[in-house]
Amino acid sequence: MNEPSPTSERRLRLTQRLPRRVLSLGLARDDGLPGVSGTVRLDRRTKDLTKRLQPGDVAVIDHVDLDRVSAEALVACEVGAVVNVAPSISGRYPNLGPQILLDADIPLVDDIGPEIFTKLREGDQVRVEGPAVHRVGGRDEDVVAKGTEQTPETVLAALTEAKAGLATQLEAFVANTMEYVKRERDLLIDGVGVPEVRTKLAGRHALIVVRGYHYREDIATLRPYIREYRPVLIGVDGGADALMEAGYRPDMIVGDMDSVSDDALTCGAEIVVHAYRDGRAPGLKRVHELGQEAVTFPATATSEDIAMLLADDKGATLIVAVGTHANMVEFLDKGRAGMASTFLTRLRVGSKLVDAKGVSRLYRSRISTWSLLFLVLGAFVAIVTAVAMSPAGDVISPLLADRWHAFVFWLTGLFT
């Protein structure tokens, strides 16, 4: 009996993982052929592609050094396979994305070449088998393109080799940092160029949310902190949608407006558009088309950096960061020279900046569990005594019952 191929086994596990309603649509279908079959979706920008991916689709991307955030977004979309025009690990540094895809049993084909964007159209049916992408349909099935099939062994070897080049990337990072200091020293030292905003930050905490690493978990752990301190909620591009998904309305949205939804932009938050140093702000047009007003913030820093600089300049006493970059691997995994600004921004606001995980570990509600327990017990005893001792107990019992239900509702709200 023939042994099943590793690709077939991954395909079987993916099919078992998809919801029944997805299988009924024919996505990641079992057509009796080896490999993974599905509808192809193409985009050179991974974050734009994830907005329209459906479970079981075959994602065609052009992403050198696939980073962790992009890979986690693809996994969340439950794609059937990922086909990358570029090398997912170029060897510059040990990026985290490919391993995340393989850990989720999602086949990854690398370095397949840009011609696939002209040979396939959105919605075509394809089959990914090993290193090859086949077009499905018509009289004959043809091979559209071939690349390199990634396996746990090849990814591990590439990561090991990439670690050897880490010193070169650090040298480039330092050079970019020095160049950024020359361009933005007035902003970093004196706050020159920070716009005036109507949102009051002076004397308050600012919670800055980036849709990055573990943002959902971090927001969930911060619910007691948000409820008690009422910080200014600042969403960086898609971070505004992250806040809304968690049930909060952002007070301010900062970014170039390329990954935030229309719903977030029209929720009533103040909008600060990240502009180029020469004043050009491509995202401003979209804001105006939605009938919203905005201010611009020209800077060569990243959007999360200007959000921190803005909060610091306007007098926030504490800046809590959710989903931002916290260590060397995460800095390099962003894969942009502009990340030099992130390092310097943290030096600038370091005395105020706290990572969300640190807040969740250090912060405890001022109301202890035992205090709440004694409060409930005391209220219960007082109510029972009053009803038992009063001759008008039959009259006030309904009123006390209403008060008790209102108290229980308030108490429940402290933990939700």
**Look-up: residue for tokens 């018509």?**
138
330-378 pLDDT, tens digit each: 556 555 545 566 667 777 787 888 887 666 555 555 555 666 677 777 8
pLDDT of residue 355: 81
254-275 pLDDT, tens digit each: 999 988 999 999 999 999 999 9
Q: In this structure, is the dihedral angle defined by the CA atoms of residues 65, 53, 269 and 215, taken in order, positive or negative?
A: negative
pTM: 0.61
Average pLDDT over residues 176-188: 69
pLDDT of residue 80: 94
pLDDT grade, residue 216 (50/70/90)? Answer: confident
Residue type (1 letter), 329 = V
Average pLDDT over residues 112-137: 91
92-109 pLDDT, tens digit each: 778 889 999 999 999 999
Higher pLDDT, 344 or 148: 148
pLDDT of residue 12: 47
Pairing label, strands 125-129, 36-42: antiparallel
pLDDT of residue 48: 85
Average model confidence (pLDDT) across the chain = 80
pLDDT of residue 330: 59
pLDDT of residue 393: 60
pLDDT grade, residue 132 (50/70/90)? Answer: very high
112 pLDDT higher than 60: yes
Q: Which fold has domain 6-163?
A: Glucose Oxidase; domain 1 (3.50.30)
Residue type (1 letter), 264 = A
Q: Which residues make Cβ contacts (< 8 Å) with residue 35, sequence separation at least 6?
A: 7, 8, 11, 107, 127, 128, 129, 130, 134
369-396 pLDDT, tens digit each: 666 677 777 877 776 676 666 665 666 6
9-60 pLDDT, tens digit each: 544 454 444 443 333 333 444 455 678 999 999 999 898 898 899 999 999 9
237 pLDDT higher than 50: yes
1 pLDDT higher than 50: no
CA distance 318 to 232: 10
Cα 299 to its chain centre, rounded Å, is: 23
CA distance 337 to 94: 16
Residues 248, 242: contact at Cβ < 8 Å? no
69 pLDDT higher than 50: yes
Distances (CA, A) of 360 to 226, 227, 320, 351, 368: 11, 13, 11, 18, 16
CA distance 301 to 338: 6
To which H or E segment does residue 380 belong?
helix 369-389
Percent of the chain past pLDDT 90, that is, above it, reads 42
Q: Which residues make Cβ contacts (< 8 Å) with residue 42, sequence separation at least 6?
A: 49, 60, 116, 117, 120, 121, 122
pLDDT of residue 250: 96
